[in-house]
Structure 1
Amino acid sequence: MGIDGGDTVWVMVSAALVMLMTPGLGLFYAGLARKKNVLSLLMQCFIAIAMISVVWALWGYSLAFGPSRGGLIGGLEWFALSQVGSEPNPNYAPTIPHTTYMLFQLMFAIITPALIIGAFAERVRFGAFLLFLVAWSTLVYSPIAHWVWGVGGWIRSLGALDFAGGTVVHISSGVSAMAAALVIGRRIGYGSGSMEPSSPVYVILGAALLWFGWFGFNGGSALASGALASGAFTATHLAASAAALSWMLTGWLHRGKPSSIAVASGAVAGLVAVTPASGFVGPQAALIIGAVAGVLCYAAVNLRAKIGVDDSLDVWGVHGVGGTWGAIATGIFADASINPAGANGLLLGNPSLLFSQLIAVAATWAYSATMTIVILKVIDLAVGLRVKPIEEMIGLDITQHAEYVKP
């Protein structure tokens, strides 16, 4: 088919938009954290860009998208980007250079482990965090990406759909976040001391950058500039808007005041939920997916708080639950007339797609949780996960980085 200039530019711009999401995530998390840990969260998100980029180039991309080994993992034929050049790979993106496709997928690989940071914010050693980035990206992200998106991957062969990362990105990170919160334990003072967010302004700004970048996240996953990208772009915006409203209204009814953090969190929940469906559903379904996500994720966040798990910045409630709903909703609302590469869902007479989606969800939940627990236990035995109690009380900005945010 050959390289198409318009498609290439669109995917390159989309990759840049998705890259911007990780610093945006850093701002979002920094605003939710206490002031003494603001820089540590920004640092963790920023270093993830550098660390995962090197891992992806050396072996991560090959494990995720290289020639399949039994549908479970890619081989190392593309180690250090060997055989990944300017010619398109027709199995993945026939109209853009293979390197462009690799870079676009890299941005997803970066933000996924960065999302988990919110679960163990304010209490993990920086060195241990770096080890976690490498191990989790290699042992969790790359295998799941291969299952779902890789040629020969077993979930892809099953017929399950994930347009832009509902299972690969959001369920994997959200479930891993819950596992991490349980393994690492609560922050000192959780449930008794103040855990008030340092800056709702940072939260709103971070959410705005995430929303902006998500147009590349979902729209770019069409891998071409055209009607499919436009449809995914539209679905993305409408779902985010519906979820921002439904979360805000639910919180308003529940707590008596409309919160700025509620609006920001709701928008992110809607973006998460529509991610797997964005290239397979129309605007009406996107509105429903978003509206349900706002209420469902709000309930999940409150449930998490009620049972006392210190998933500090609610990664599980937003990404784990939102991604799960989005994957299931894809099985309900998918419409093959919107994207012939997909399939019809339950409402259009195809219950088998919903069944495939449920299998994909269950497998991702089980594998992500199990492997995350193993990885964290090994790192804890090797170097220790948590900072010392006195360091945690002082704050990670000072104790881990010798820097602080001036008043």
Structure 2
Amino acid sequence: MTEAASGGVAGGAAASASQVRDAVLEAVDDVKGSTDNIASTLSTLANRPPTRFGNRGLTGANGVFTGNLDHASNQLPWLHSALVSTTALVAVAGEVGNADMELGILRMAGPRLQSAMFGSMLLAAWLDFLTLADAVLRECSAYSAEQLLMDLERVQRRMEPTLAAFSSGDAEQVEEAATAMPELMGQLTREFGAIRDGARKATEQNGKFMAAAQAMEMLTLVSTLKVSLPRLPPAAPATVGVSLVMGSGGVMAGSQLVVSAEWVEMIRRLVQAGVISIPAVSAAVRIHGGQVMMAQANGDLPEGLRDALGDSPEVRGMRVTGKAGAGMSEHPKHHVMPKERRTWFEERGFKGDMDIDQFCVRLEWAHHEAIHGGGNWRLGRMWPNEWNRMIMEVLQQAERRAGQMLTRNEILNIVASRMKRYGIPMKFTQGRRR
């Protein structure tokens, strides 16, 4: 597997783009399966009648927990939208004739895919809390519903900023939230344990030792925030990373995380194509390993994960880093399709997920000024090779020769060839409409 990663993908750019498309769709299917399971379990909880005596359970207690159930349900629409949008971009990419532009569009799907991946993990964690709360309400009457409500509100407030970042669809917010997820999941794990221990102690202090034993036996069946990565075939396992797991007496013990070779291959393709980032992958693996798998001290990935992903420039050059280290802070965003001609592009199909604001590229200041003819844009437009002037002249000439409006794909292919000529990387990021 490592040998295949270092040797590259056979068949050239077109084959590579095809394999990346398949990897994106595979990841979408995995997340969709997880999201569907969450929706099904949530529906079961929401429709479960309260106990006959005491009106206890999430659907009982005079409806005070309805808002917590609604908070989970309210996350499903944007998760579904992110997956639909990702799938739509994959379909568009498959129709583009230029292989570089095809990969560029697939990279545009990255933030949507990452937001769905991590959003579903976080929603699964919230579902764990709801399942635990329902069990406590039904089986541990000594633990007050008021206290449990305050516990859930506290956890919900802790999760809300991260869920908001994922649902925003903004690439930078999604990346920052994803890399911070292991720390958040560690906090949620401690919150989960505190609620469960509180229910046990309350039951014991109430003198119901047999009830406490039975309740705790039941509560151990509730998930303890071991959120799983996408479901994969068990064949051909690969060991990645080294995790540290809290054992008895607070001792941290080392263990290894085993995932399938198919999962590693899918992730390798997505990382090397620039669809998802190494920091996001590292965060996902750390969560899967028990929330405490740590990167190495120098900020590199866990060694096993780096080995499994292969010895490629993309993997070697990426580290677990912050926004500035990832080059996301100050470099200007260049619209490859001029903003002042927005209507022209909209008439030719650049709307919604394919809006021209999706086709921005971060450039060095010097590079950005150079393609626009220097720091003074008014003077720059007098230069025939200034980007905005040049690209519109080329597109309009192509349209006159065709005798009809260019299609969206024809425009993308022309833009791709000019981007290559001007040394503009085919790595798009979302701009902001003004």
- With structure 1 as the length reference, what TM-score do the two structures score? 0.35
The structure with the greater share of residues assigned to strand is 2
In our comparison, the structure showing a higher alpha carbon Rg is: 2
State the structure with bigger RCO (CA 8 A, min sep 6), 1 or 2: 1
- With structure 2 as the length reference, what TM-score do the two structures score? 0.34
